[in-house]
């Protein structure tokens, strides 16, 4: 399994949104794009997908932008990656569709793929957006290139 640019940039943007957003103050996509060095146009596509998936909500108008649709400690990495990339447990088609292969009933590797997919989802479900924000803050505090006055 390989996480695409959409998944990687989407997760970074979500961490940024959770870090800089407040419960009632939306964050401009242009600000996220600047901080994350990602094209705003590409983020529009990502956030449209996240909005359809119920992860974020858009607020239109002069003071518009994006907000988390629920608290950061209620959004798991599995939620985000599944919306952007599809279910992580579907590493191969035969795991969810027994009719996709004639060897499904006797194939030992199918069990391994199912187990691996479940473990990936398990790990991604252990981390919330809030926990990643805290991890990011610790990394920033420990950055030797950061100067404080």
Tell me the per-residue pLDDT of 37-66, one tens digit each, with 9 for 90 and over: 999 999 999 999 999 999 999 998 887 899
Percent of the chain beyond pLDDT 70? 94
The stretches in the chain having pLDDT less than 70 are: 1, 142-149
pLDDT, averaged across the chain: 89
Question: H helices within 21-128, ranges in order?
Answer: 29-36, 40-52, 77-85, 93-96, 108-126
Give the CATH class of 5-86+128-138: mainly alpha
Give me the pLDDT at residue 103, please: 82
Give me the pLDDT at residue 140, please: 79
Tokens of 6: 């959409």
- pTM to 2 decimal places: 0.85
Q: Which of 119, 123, 23, 129 is nearest to 76 (CA)?
A: 129
Instruction: Please check whether residue 17 is in contact with residue 131, taking contact to mean a CB–CB distance below 8 angstroms.
Output: no
């Amino acid at each position: 399994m390989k996480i695409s640019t959409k998944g990687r940039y989407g997760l970074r943007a979500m961490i940024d949104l959770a870090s800089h957003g407040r419960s009632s103050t939306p964050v401009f996509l242009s600000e996220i794009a600047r901080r994350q060095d990602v094209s705003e146009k590409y983020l529009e596509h990502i956030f449209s997908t996240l909005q359809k998936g119920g992860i974020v909500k858009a607020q239109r108008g002069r003071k518009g932008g994006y907000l988390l649709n629920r608290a950061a400690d209620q959004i798991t990495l599995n939620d985000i990656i599944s919306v952007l990339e599809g279910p992580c447990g579907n590493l191969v088609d035969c795991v969810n569709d027994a009719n996709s292969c004639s060897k499904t009933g006797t194939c030992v590797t199918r069990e391994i793929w199912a187990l691996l997919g479940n473990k990936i989802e398990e790990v991604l479900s252990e981390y919330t957006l809030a926990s990643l924000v805290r991890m990011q803050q610790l990394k920033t505090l420990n950055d030797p290139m950061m100067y404080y006055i």
